Amino acid sequence: MIARTAFQRFVAVVFAALLCSSAQAALHTVIVGGLGGEKEYEEQFRKNAEALAAAVARLDSEQKPILLAGPKSDATALRRALTTVATQAAVEDRLIVMLVGHGTFDGDDFRFNLHGPDITGAEFANLLNRINVREQVIVLASSASGGALTRLQRTDTKMSRVVITATKSGTERNAVRFAEHWVSALTSAAADVDKDEWVTVKEAFEYAERKVADGYKSSASLATEHPRIYEVGVMKAEQIPIARLGSGTSMPTDVELRSLFTERLRIEREVAAVKDRKDELGETQYYDEIEKVLITLAKTQLQIDARQTTLGQPKS
């Protein structure tokens, strides 16, 4: 019977497959530290943005995140960055956009505060909708960010999008604590619930959400922010890696590995289905069933290893 530690190693391999389910897929990242208004906030937003950029950079060593912070964080630069991604990105690519700062809501639309004119939720959504990639993760770690949720929802389920906001609505206008906990989720092992050295979007969100609630509770103050998550499409927050911890796993690039990666992803979903039934199965039956799936996964991994050996690539 496969032990828990072996199971965790297998899951780590699976998350590597998610990152390269298409052999030529690239990760495009845009991270913004917005206008602080006050020196303290300005410095905080800059540091948070830099920390997030460094964390996400570990997901794809070939693609450097676009970082806009300090005076560089203006609407023109953000438009240019997202337009560049829209021009360069392929359908099989991934996109992560994270905005950290202050936001406002006028009853109709959200605005993210930037140096110079702000950017509206409507324009931001329009820019994102022009980026035709298979998977988008959008994080608005700002006050009033819940006011952008409606704008950022989409009906096209062929393309996956996960949206995270620091507040539940545009009326939660106070400075948020969510951003600092989101940074912590991506830069330490605290959010890595299953200890597989990968942090998924779901793990990061649940960690930050919990820390926000705990903070207000410990200070005996009324919570003025309630984080929200919205998802649409095939890929869900629990399946999307957003941070890689420890040594991680090297990622192959040969296009001929595509079918094997797709198969590995399919098996991962079988693993997830068995995990969902753990409580009803009981420990013995659970490990019996998951062993069968993991043996199939191991055989697929051996095929991948053999192909990579032929290509002279490091094993992933």
Cβ neighbors of 188 (< 8 A, separation 6 or more) are none
CA dist., res. 40 & res. 308, Å (int): 50
CA dist., res. 67 & res. 56, Å (int): 11
Q: What's the DSSP call for residue 115?
A: B
* pLDDT tens, residue order, the chain (316 aa): 444 455 555 555 555 545 544 344 688 999 999 999 899 999 999 999 999 999 998 887 677 899 999 999 999 999 999 999 999 999 988 999 999 999 999 999 999 999 999 999 999 999 999 999 989 999 999 999 999 999 999 888 888 999 999 999 999 999 999 999 999 999 989 999 878 778 889 999 999 999 999 999 999 999 999 999 999 987 788 888 899 886 544 444 445 555 676 577 667 767 877 887 788 888 889 888 888 888 888 888 888 878 777 877 666 5
Which residue, among 139, 81, 150, 73, has the nearest Cα to 110 in the 3D structure?
A: 150
CA dist., res. 88 & res. 90, Å (int): 7
Using alpha carbons, list the distances in angstroms from residue 231 to 23, 50, 276: 25, 26, 19
**Could you tell me the domains of the chain?**
1-23+254-316 (no CATH), 25-244 (3.40.50.1460)
Strands (E), 109-196: 110-112, 119-120, 135-142, 160-165
* b/e 19-55 (16+ beta carbons within 10 angstroms → b): bbbbbebbbbbbbbbbbbeeeebbebbbebbbbbbeb
